A and B are shown apart, each in its own frame.
Chain A
Amino acid sequence: MWSMTLKRLMFAIPSLIGVVIITFLLTRALPGDPAAYFAGPAATQEAISQVRAKLGLDKSLLVQFTRYVGDLARGDLGNSLTTGQPVVTEIRNRLPASAELTLLGLIVSVLIAVPLGILAATKPDSLIDHACRLVTTAGVSLPVFFTGLILVYVFYYLLGWAPAPLGRLDIFFSTPPQITGFYLIDSLLTGKFDLFRAALSQLLLPALTLAIFSLAPIARMTRASMLAVLASDFVRTARASGLTPFTVIVTYAFRNAMLPVITTLGMVFSFLLGANVLVEKVFAWPGIGSYAVEALLASDFAPVQGFVLTMAVLYVALNLIIDILYGLIDPRVRIEA
């Protein structure tokens, strides 16, 4: 187990180095001149070159790169020009916001998608199978901002059940002391239950939006892999031995069908974390996706580099966790490794 973990980590190093080089080069290849942008509307050529020198953009690419790697080694991701804050601080503040939302969305999605997929697989071509197909197709084909706006319109504007889509907390609550950065957890740890409730009510609609969008891959994957497993010999044997359908499906079949579902979950999670920009925009959520996009629009190098790097590290960590989970679920993987 440990050797596998270590081996995995070793494999990650070259990809991280690659990511560092590529993000650096890509951000430099962006059109637009950050110096001209930040010199302001009425700047002269002279003012622009002053700003350029200040930002260190007048140096050669190699010098800039060495400096970047040097800073990186000290854990310094640079300063964002658009928000004026150090990138590390911003990511530390914003990543939990995105992660909390994405995790909750994923949990909601799994709670709906996995049973739906299992039911659809046990009764192929039945009403429930068609319902599953309809729900997943609809979920994946509606753009997230559209689902989000519809939810806001119905639950906030028309019915008034949901709170105003104003980000993580209503304006009259102050943020809980930062322990994990997850408001739900932090508010519980400090025993502030009204804060927990407020944070949860802000989270519900965006999480639901994400859940609707991510239903499809999870439900379809569960269905497909359950179908394959249900058709296999050991299931037939189990059935022939007179086990109850519940034991056959949940204990024997589902456990074997879980591997591809876990892989999909990992993929969906990392995809959602970076790609829920639109949900963040609709719900004014101070997440990491909208941060990166705003920085990109302003040719603001440092946050873009920081974002891509954080995402790469997260990917590596996530893959590692999935690999370990594989071993826990399926002993064969453990033995082969």
Chain B
Amino acid sequence: MKRRQFLKSMTAVAAGSMVPAPAIWSSAKAQSRQETLLIVSESGPNNIDIHGVGTNVPGYEVSWNCYDRLISHEMKTVNGTPYYDKDKFKPELAEDMKIGDMSATFKLKKKAKFHDGTPVTANDVKWSLDRAVTVGGFPTFQMRAGSLEKPEQFVVVDDHTIRIDFLRKDRLTIPDLAVVVPCVLNSGLVKKNATEKDPWGMEFTKQNTAGSGAYRVTSWTAGTEVVMERNDDWLGGPLPKVKRVVWRIVPSAGNRRALLERGDADISYDLPNKDFVELKSAGKLSIISTPYSNGIQYIGMNVKIPPFDNPKVRQAVAYAIPYQKIMDAVLFGLSKPMFGAPANAPTQVAWPQPTKFNTDIAKAKQLMAEAGYPNGFETTMSFDLGFAGVNEPLCVLTQESLAQIGIKVTINKIPGANWRTELNKKVLPLYTNVFSGWLDYPEYFFIWCYHGKNSIFNTMSYQSKEVDAYIDGAVTAAAAGNKAEYEKDVKGFVDRVYADIPRIPVYQPYVNVAMQKNIFGYQYWFHRRLDYRSFVKG
């Protein structure tokens, strides 16, 4: 009897000490769990103001959810997933938009308030847009992409009306007002916290949200977690269902997966492809895969560095890439192939579109011989270690395959911190990288990546008068609404760069999101980050 009692009490003690928190959750906690969205991801923001110096991509997500823009996009459905409609706009802070010939006028929602209760006025809008075009770096570049360059373009008509004057006709101007950058800040609050050295209050907004958006950051521990609470007075759209968002940084991919499978985390979106494929087949979670809009993973060659100055060498490389192996072994099929279009397929007025290249070692060898390199040559192939999960196997497969045509490749791994520096120098002969543009228009991609203006993303130092003329022509034709001319120009530049092939498109990556079955309302956005406002926890 005594022994029994002893055993019983021991089991009770063991159970008490083993069973973790969930067993002792009070109903209040369960309630708040129901209203909280727990997101886990590999890295977090370094700055919660998108105008900041060197704000990273996770920082964009905070900005998107905590600030409003004048306008935003409507949703449509692509393959069953809500997907932003690049051609349709809806008001966010504005209640009305009138686009004239050389200007656009926005009427603000009269009752819109910032998080601290001060009303949103046209002065705040002007101050915020002035800031975006003035502070330099990424925000200013992004604004310039839509011909938004000078503070004089933003005119306060009255307290609730702002007019944006166009510098030139550019069809990217209106879409550029709906990206993450032109967010509206509480100018009074930020100015209060600005200093002489820091007139735009960047130090303040780096740590604090000063917007009118659907959420506001209530606590942020860099590298650990971001906590956001719903702004119950939000007027930019229907009130979000999720009251509180907790975003924890979990660096280990294995643990992010375990958290999802155990049902503790609600959403994760940066897991290795292999995990997504396995999670998908297990069927316990909802997995949504959407191709990056206007994005391509490519293999680039610097056309200023011999032997890559020879188009035949570049074509030989393009025929020697092990495309299908990369699709199967690296991506587990979770990407859209950007190669192997039928030889007679007409060029489309679309971007991205597949090339006609396929793996054909015999043809590659022949091209190498024609180019004068029958015995091949030696070169290095570089990649960004920050995305080693995909880049490393991709480079190793390419290395093996190029060895077959005599090209001896040494792989050069560059840490994430140095990647941009190295890319900026434009001295890497052969490398792989991803580019994706927020604005989903072919000419936008080509301005960044192929134009002779040689932006940082023209990593190949590619120069072609013909392509420049086509790109400029397409921009003008689009602004004038000349469809025939536009289509001719787009086909022209696509054909030219696919013949010259300074960069070899490999695939269009997918954004993979894994979430619990009771989470609904995921939307795909051009910035590829999460929009908390549409989520529902069932």
Contact = CB atoms under 8 A, between A and B. Distances in A.
Nearest to A90: B222
Contact of A40 (B21, B53, B206, B457): B53
15 contacts: A40-B137, A40-B138, A42-B456, A43-B138, A83-B222, A157-B261, A157-B262, A171-B225, A172-B25, A282-B255, A284-B251, A284-B252, A290-B223, A291-B223, A297-B416
Interface in B403-435: 415-418, 420-421, 424
Given A83-B222, A299-B417, A299-B418, 10 more contacts: A37-B421, A43-B424, A47-B137, A149-B254, A152-B254, A166-B40, A167-B248, A170-B21, A282-B252, A297-B416
A267 interface: no
B207 A84 contact: yes
A171 B36 contact: yes
Contacts, number: 147
Interface in B155-182: none
A41 B138 contact: yes
Contacts of A299: 417-418
B18 interface: yes
Contacts of B81: none
A166 B248 contact: yes
A201 B417 CA distance: 36
Contacts of A33: 418, 421
A314 interface: no
B29 interface: yes
Interface of B: 18-21, 24-25, 29, 32-33, 36, 38, 40, 46-47, 53-55, 136-138, 141-142, 206-207, 221-225, 246, 248-252, 254-255, 258-259, 261-262, 264-265, 415-418, 420-421, 424, 455-457
B415 A297 contact: yes
A38 B262 CA distance: 38
Contact of B223 (A31, A48, A83, A194): A83
Given A83-B222, A164-B259, A281 B251 contact: yes
A50 B198 CA distance: 14
A82 interface: yes
Contacts of B54: 37-40, 51, 81
Contact of B252 (A43, A85, A149): A149
Nearest to A35: B421
Contacts of A44: 456
B32 A298 contact: no
A118 B261 CA distance: 43
Given A32-B417, A161-B19, A294 B207 contact: no
Interface string A194-219: 10001001000000000000000000
A36 interface: yes
A233 B258 CA distance: 57
Interface in A263-302: 281-284, 286, 290-291, 294, 297-299
B138 A51 contact: no
Interface of A: 31-34, 36-44, 47-48, 50-51, 54, 80-85, 90, 93, 145, 149, 152-153, 156-157, 160-167, 170-172, 194, 198, 201, 281-284, 286, 290-291, 294, 297-299
B264 to A, nearest CB: 4
A156 B262 contact: yes
Contacts of A283: 255
Contacts of B36: 171
B148 to A, nearest CB: 15
A42 B207 CA distance: 23
Contacts of B40: 166
A167 B262 CA distance: 17
A80 B207 CA distance: 13
Contact of A36 (B32, B421, B457): B421
A37 B417 contact: yes
A166 B255 CA distance: 9
A115 B264 CA distance: 39
B313 to A, nearest CB: 29
B258 A156 contact: yes
Contact of B21 (A83, A198, A294, A298): A198
Q: Which of B25, B46, B416 has the most CB of A within 10 A?
A: B46
A152 B255 contact: yes
Contacts of A153: 254, 258
Nearest to A149: B254
A83 B252 contact: no
A156 B20 CA distance: 10
Given A157-B261, A194-B24, A201-B20, A32 B418 contact: yes
B421 A50 contact: no
B416 A172 contact: no
B416 A166 contact: no
Contacts of B19: 161
A290 B255 CA distance: 16
Contacts of B221: 93, 286
B19 to A, nearest CB: 7
Contacts of A82: 46, 222
Nearest to A93: B221
Contacts of B265: 164
A310 to B, nearest CB: 17
Contact of B137 (A43, A163, A281): A43
B250 A284 contact: yes
Nearest to A31: B418
B46 A36 contact: no
Contacts of A51: 53-54, 137
Contacts of A198: 21
Contacts of B25: 172
Contacts of B136: 47, 50
Contact of B456 (A43, A83, A290, A298): A43
Contact of B53 (A39, A149, A171, A201): A39
A254 to B, nearest CB: 31
A287 B223 CA distance: 10
Contact of B255 (A54, A85, A165, A172): A165
